[in-house]
A = this chain, B = another copy of it.
Amino acid sequence: MAIFSKTCEYAIRAVFFIAHKTATGSRVGIKDIAQGIDSPEHFLAKILQDLSRKGLISSIKGPHGGFYIDTPALSRPLSEIVEAVDGNSLFVGCALGLKQCSEINPCPLHNEFKAIRNRIHAMLATTTIGSFNEELMEGLLSLKK
């Protein structure tokens, strides 16, 4: 199992892609995004529609339209994307699937896993949507293949 769903993987990659492509005020179309992150176009469209409805990204229809991320949104944490798509189970759920992760009824992995879970959350909470724009422009980081 991967740590994120396919939907979430595409969402994060797309958001990074849109952020770095539109940091200068332009827009980018679904076709470009899909090929830029190597994802199925129509499936990605659904995901972006959802993120757009939730206000995490923006879009405009018609000629010269497309998706974009405005400057204030660039400083929002990645955890908001993950929560919007996969919910918060990764941040609060039990490693072994107990209905409720708790200190009073812990599973065997609870203590170790709690620390790992916190680290995952810290990574996503401290990483902003725009934080890799420079590295992406310089081609130091990859969003496909």
Does the CB pair B97–A6 fall under 8 Å? yes
Q: Which residue of B lies closest to A39 (CB)?
A: B97
Contacts of A2 in B (CB 8 A): 1, 89-90, 93, 95, 97
- The residue on B at minimum CB distance from A105 is B142
Assess the A116–B119 pair: CB atoms within 8 A.
yes
> Given A108-B132, A116-B120: A98 and B142 within 8 A (CB)?
yes
Q: Of all chain B residues, which has the CB nearest A112?
A: B123
Could you tell me if B123 and A4 are in contact, using CB atoms closer than 8 angstroms? no
Q: Are A105 and B143 in contact (CB under 8 A)?
A: no
If A9-B97, A116-B119, A123-B112 touch, does A141 touch B3 (CB 8 Å cutoff)? no
Which B residue's beta carbon lies closest to that of A8?
Answer: B1
This protein's copies in its complex: 2
Give the interface centre of A89, A105, A113, A120 by most chain B CB atoms within 10 Å: A120
CA distance A12 to B110 in the complex (A): 13
* CB–CB B12/A1 < 8 A: no
Interface string of A114-145 (1 = CB under 8 A from B): 01100110010001000110011000011111
23 contacts between A and B (CB under 8 A): A1-B3, A1-B8, A2-B97, A3-B3, A3-B113, A4-B97, A9-B95, A9-B97, A12-B96, A13-B96, A98-B144, A98-B145, A100-B145, A105-B142, A105-B145, A106-B142, A107-B143, A108-B143, A109-B127, A116-B116, A116-B120, A116-B123, A119-B119
